[in-house]
A and B are shown apart, each in its own frame.
Chain A
Amino acid sequence: MLRVVGRRLLHAAVLVLAVSAACFVLAELVPGDFLAPARLDPRASAESLEALRARYGLDRPLHQRYLSWLGSVLRGEMGHSLAYGVPVAPLVLGRAGNTLLLSVPATALAWLLALILGAWGARRPGGWGDRLSLGLGATLQAVPELVLALLALLVAARSGIFPLGGMASLSAGELGFWGRLVDVLRHLALPTLVLALALVPVLLRHVRAALSEALEQSFVHAARGHGVGELRLLLTYALPAAAPPLLALFGLSAGTLLSGSLVVEVVMSWPGLGPLLLDAVFARDLHVIVGATLLSGLLLVAGNLLADLLLYAVDPRLRRPGATP
């Protein structure tokens, strides 16, 4: 087990080094940098541009810049944003908090929907419940997240019940605690729904497959023969048997909490990690790009580790010496 944890940690370290090094080298190779728009400005003199370059540290050679970035990672700053003029770590972490505020409820809702629909479908394969949940899954899978988010905007624009994107109303500052809470929840409703609906098809397919396989096992038939009720059969007999692949999937979906909502965030102007990265891409704010990418990548590695650990916890076969995880 320790070996698995160790391997994932090593993986994370290699990821940080390889991705950051690749980003720095690529940024060096390609023309244009953060000051490119300023250079087009006729009012900016060559001297002041040089001074800005020196202040931002863009005049130093590549390896020096990379080493100083690594130093700032060790100090917990993750570099410095040129566009925002602040260290990257607090900036990225604050935005990541907003993303989690959106993605955690959405992922929870998606799992709830997938478990209910999947169980309903697996109970009677080929029945109308099964057909309904399969049809819903296929439909949702065909509608891209982008289109779904735009449709949600349409609903917001036409109905007027929900705000048109953003995280808080302009007047939010004047509201009391409860007023602000209700305001954020109202802004949260549509993006959460869109993200959850986009996540459902994949989860639903796995839940249905795992549960219908578990329900075919002979011990389930035996329990049914002994008169165990349908609900108990599902919850205490089939669900534990179906758990291993679902827990692995749960770990993976926890790993995408930061990275899975980029499109929804951009379309519905949710101030999360996605729009931050997009702005940084347009502005060539190198440290923010590296920081946002690495943070979401690290959470993905952590999600894989969580999947391993959960599997290890529920599957006694893996705990036997000599078993390969």
Chain B
Amino acid sequence: MSGRRPALAWPVAVLAFLHLIALGADVVAPYDPAEQTRELIWAPPTKLHLVDAAGRWHLRPFVYRWRPADGAPGRYVEDTSRIFPLRLWSGEAGTRRLLGVEPPARLHLLGTDGLGRDQLSRLVHGARTSLFAGLGAALLAVAAGLLLGTLAGYFGGWLDDLLMRGSELAMALPALYLLLAARAFLPLELGPAAAWGLIVVLLGLLGWPPAARLVRGVVLAARRRGYVGAARGFGASHVYLLRRHLLPPALAVGLTQLVLLVPQMILAEVTLSFLGLGVSEPTPSWGSMLVPLTSYPVLAAHGWAFLPALPLVLTVLSYHQLASAGRQRLRRTA
């Protein structure tokens, strides 16, 4: 291992930024994610300009409207007859958005999809679905793992045997196959909120075994320490021993597990939504936004449709960095 400490600041900053955007999706997204503009199907990203067609400079960035290109269906050219300056915090009270332009121009910084919906708005709202599904599922899995692992490690005996054999059984199945098989026996058509909750619970329940086994090991080791025996000799109760001596080391392990699990859970939600088994339309998810990329016309003509994959890569990268930085710092304190 090299002696350099992996950076902790940028992954934290990136993740905080992404989560803040997801939380503020209603304000950050320029449009409603379900709003369709039928005249703008697969319109490319709107360009921001500072110099207009006549060569004059403008202090405030502006955009032109897209208009269908003559004789080339599905292509768009800029209508340079009128400029639309970029507005900050525009719109009527109550529905103000961070960024916008005056209608009839539209601001599609990442283009539109096959139904003329704004990709950026869908991406921002999809962040809510995907990021928090991953976080929720990982929290659930780690909580279950902490509870079951502590019980198994502390009380031992038949409970330990039962839980550990059960976790072996759950880990003996390939995770994605298990997930699909479990999803097969749950209703296919669900409202967005119900489907989201279902996926979080499903991922959380299927994700407990590794965390539980690690926690069990830590509790087992801590239980044999002299100070635990001493406390027990002084008549400490189970609750006191667990709270005071056994849970703290287990929590540290749980925390590292959490950081490792979140990206896996986000990817699992993205994969499920991509396969059509996750949150249903029109609620966007980072997974369902990738579905059009399997069709030839989109791949051949609209390369910018890949832009929604970037935040996913950035999120996974940040969580991995966070995990390795956290591991190094924990090792130092241990």
Q: Are A262 and B177 touching (Cβ within 8 A)?
A: yes
Q: Are A125 and B2 touching (Cβ within 8 A)?
A: yes
Interface of chain A residues 266 through 280 with chain B (CB within 8 A): 266-267, 277-278, 280
B180 at the interface (CB under 8 A from A): yes
Q: Are B294 and A153 touching (Cβ within 8 A)?
A: yes
B172 smallest CB distance to A (angstroms)? 6
When distances are taken between beta carbons in the complex, the residues of chain B under 8 Å from A256 are: 174
Q: Which of B174, B180, B316 contacts A142 (CB 8 A)?
A: B316
Size class of the A contact interface (CB-based, 8 Å): 35 or more
Q: Are B275 and A293 touching (Cβ within 8 A)?
A: no
Q: Are A142 and B186 touching (Cβ within 8 A)?
A: no
Q: Are B294 and A263 touching (Cβ within 8 A)?
A: no
When distances are taken between beta carbons in the complex, the residues of chain B under 8 Å from A266 are: 275
When distances are taken between beta carbons in the complex, the residues of chain A under 8 Å from B303 are: 154, 158
Stretch with Cβ within 8 A of A (4 or more), from B19-27, B88-96, B156-164, B306-314: B306-314
When distances are taken between beta carbons in the complex, the residues of chain A under 8 Å from B281 are: none
Q: Are B317 and A158 touching (Cβ within 8 A)?
A: no
A181 smallest CB distance to B (angstroms)? 26
**Given the interface contacts A260-B174, A281-B277, does A147 sit within 8 Å of B169 by beta carbon?**
no
A29 at the interface (CB under 8 A from B): yes
When distances are taken between beta carbons in the complex, the residues of chain B under 8 Å from A154 are: 293, 299, 303, 306
Q: When chains A and B are docked, how far (Å) is the Cα of A281 from the Cα of B272?
A: 12
Q: Is the interface of B mostly helix, strand, loop or mixed?
A: helix
Q: Are B309 and A15 touching (Cβ within 8 A)?
A: no
B52 smallest CB distance to A (angstroms)? 33
When distances are taken between beta carbons in the complex, the residues of chain B under 8 Å from A280 are: 184
B293 smallest CB distance to A (angstroms)? 5
Instruction: Identify the closest chain A residue to B2 (Cβ).
Output: A126
Size class of the B contact interface (CB-based, 8 Å): 35 or more
Instruction: Identify the closest chain B residue to A28 (Cβ).
Output: B185
B177 smallest CB distance to A (angstroms)? 5
B46 at the interface (CB under 8 A from A): no
Instruction: List the interface of chain B (C-beta within 8 A of A).
Output: 2, 168-169, 172-174, 176-178, 180-188, 267, 270-271, 274-277, 287, 290, 293-294, 296, 299-300, 303, 306, 309, 312-313, 316-317, 320
User: Known contacts A142-B320, A281-B180; can you find 10 more A-B pairs with CB under 8 A?
Assistant: A11-B169, A32-B188, A142-B317, A146-B290, A150-B290, A153-B294, A153-B299, A277-B180, A293-B177, A296-B177
8 smallest A-B Cβ distances: which pairs?
A259-B174, A157-B299, A142-B317, A26-B185, A281-B184, A297-B173, A293-B181, A150-B293
Instruction: List the interface of chain A (C-beta within 8 A of B).
Output: 11, 14-15, 18-19, 23, 26-27, 29-32, 125-126, 138, 141-144, 146-147, 150-151, 153-154, 157-158, 164, 256, 258-260, 262-263, 266-267, 277-278, 280-282, 284, 289-290, 292-293, 296-297, 300-301, 304
7 A-B contacts (beta carbon < 8 Å): A19-B173, A126-B2, A142-B320, A154-B303, A157-B299, A284-B184, A293-B178
